[in-house]
Amino acid sequence: MEGETMEEAFRCHREASICGIENHFNKLQKLLEAERNWKKKVDARNKAGFTEELPNNMEDDEPPLLGEIMEAVAAIADMHINVPNLTLEQREAMLNVDQKRIFDKIKSHLISQKEREVLLENESSRLRLDNIKPLRMFISGVGGTGKSFLIEAIKCLMDDIWHPKSELKGKTA
């Protein structure tokens, strides 16, 4: 970051890393808890021999338990996305080659739009609207290719260029 010493930059990076580790730890704890609950359920079913009814104190909670497990697995898969306090530079450094190519294209478009906006501040609003050039991109890929992380990096970029917080329309849109 501009204006900070090496020591300050290191401290910021260390704090962000600690937050990330805590975030990962909490998500792993949820997954382990879901696994323990599932094993208890399987053991009770095995003990009952699948033909007998479950013991009275054991409710048939398979769907909620399965949902709990799926939620924990999804959280593990998305651990890197919602790490709090990552800077734009840190997110940009974590992008893979394909993400970086897309990010750079969007970044150059947003910067040129911001420069146009600054030049046209004193012009009429009609002229300003005529000079807005939207960028439309379709980013495809199966689950786990990093689209959500790319969107978070783009959101950080937009927050950096236009200081008011930008709002996402959907989790991956």
Tens place of pLDDT for every residue, the chain, 173 residues? 456 788 887 787 788 778 778 877 887 788 788 778 878 877 777 777 655 555 555 555 566 766 766 766 666 655 555 566 778 888 888 888 888 999 999 999 888 888 777 777 766 555 555 666 778 888 887 777 788 888 888 988 988 887 655 555 555 55
pTM (2 decimals)?
Answer: 0.48
Question: How confident is the model at residue 104, as a pLDDT?
Answer: 93
CA distance 167 to 133: 19
The answer to the question of residue 83 being in a domain is: no
CA angle 116, 172, 33 (to 5 degrees): 140
The number of distinct structural domains making up the chain is 2
Judge if 41 and 71 occupy the same domain.
Answer: yes
Backbone angles phi, psi at 143, to 5 degrees: -60, 140
The answer to the question of residue 22 being in a domain is: yes
Judge if 56 and 110 occupy the same domain.
Answer: no
- Do residues 141 and 147 touch, judged by C-beta distance below 8 A? yes
- Do residues 45 and 54 touch, judged by C-beta distance below 8 A? yes
The answer to the question of residue 115 being in a domain is: yes
The answer to the question of residue 18 being in a domain is: yes
Q: If DSSP codes are grouped into helix, strand and coil, which group holds residue 66?
A: helix
Domain coverage including residue 134: 88-161
Judge if 44 and 108 occupy the same domain.
Answer: no
